[in-house]
Amino acid sequence: DTGVSQNPRHKITKRGQNVTFRCDPISEHNRLYWYRQTLGQGPEFLTYFQNEAQLEKSRLLSDRFSAERPKGSFSTLEIQRTEQGDSAMYLCASSSPGGGSYNEQFFGPGTRLTVL
């Protein structure tokens, strides 16, 4: 299966600790997205990369959050000084270049973060 993969699948941390998640997109996809999903809600957009360039960031992405995609392949999302409100599922998606204004986004299984 060459879908989007995310690691770890689950992360439990104490408040104040830093955490880092990894996303490996589908290999030929040059666009990568991060979303956050809380219980009972739909995914909320956090940020978007085209190749290694971070082109857009949501207001949800506070200064404690940073995302990178150093070689235009995998991406990492780091949360510094975690707070209980950061507890959520963090989803990664990727899409391929193409014509038109929208490309189908393929989602990974997510990383569930619990901040104690």
Partner 1 sequence: QQQVKQSPQSLIVQKGGISIINCAYENTAFDYFPWYQQFPGKGPALLIAIRPDVSEKKEGRFTISFNKSAKQFSLHIMDSQPGDSATYFCAASIINNLFFGTGTRLTVIP
Q: Which residues bind partner 1 (CB under 8 A)?
A: 4, 31, 33, 40-45, 48, 56, 91, 93, 95, 101-110
Instruction: Using the minimum distance from each CB to partner 1, give the nearer residue, 110 or 115.
Output: 110
Instruction: Using the minimum distance from each CB to partner 1, give the nearer residue, 66 or 112.
Output: 112
CB-facing half-sphere around the CA of 17: CA atoms within 13 A: 12
Nearest alpha-carbon partner for 111 in 85, 88, 93, 94: 88
CB of 78 to partner 1, least distance (A): 20
Query: Which residues, other chains included, contact 38 with Cβ-Cβ below 8 Å and sequence gap of 6+?
Result: 44, 87, 88, 89
Which one-letter amino acid corresponds to residue 39? L
CB of 91 to partner 1, least distance (A): 6
Instruction: Using the minimum distance from each CB to partner 1, give the nearer residue, 42 or 85.
Output: 42
Instruction: Using the minimum distance from each CB to partner 1, give the nearer residue, 21 or 33.
Output: 33
CB of 45 to partner 1, least distance (A): 6
